[in-house]
Structure 1
């Protein structure tokens, strides 16, 4: 399986014109579009309510998402 989850830290620091900085946690998913139907085994649902879900309706236009991003 190629899909995976990433957790990391985002940091920003600026010294001028006024010193400013922040740090916060980030969480990202890398989804292999060929694996969408296999993802329920790891807790990601397709077109169903779940804590982590991927909805085809969020990507309209009648063309499969993979065809539009490649």
Structure 2
């Protein structure tokens, strides 16, 4: 098995779970609160936008990886 095939195999495994892990990571980032009561992001609309960007990228990467061949 060549290095290219190994990288493709790793990429397929990673892209399969990318959407799930990005949502989990976003949930932790969104729920994180500092001691002064502020969150990481400045507004709810910004939070929602970032969430959909992560989800969209995950879906595109998964689709291109699994259905390319």
TM over 0.5: no
The structure whose residues are more often strand, as a share, is 1
TM-score of the pair, normalised by structure 1: 0.26
Bigger relative CO (Cα 8 Å, ≥ 6 apart): 2
The structure whose residues are more often helix, as a share, is 2
TM-score of the pair, normalised by structure 2: 0.26
Higher Cα Rg: structure 1 or 2? Answer: 1
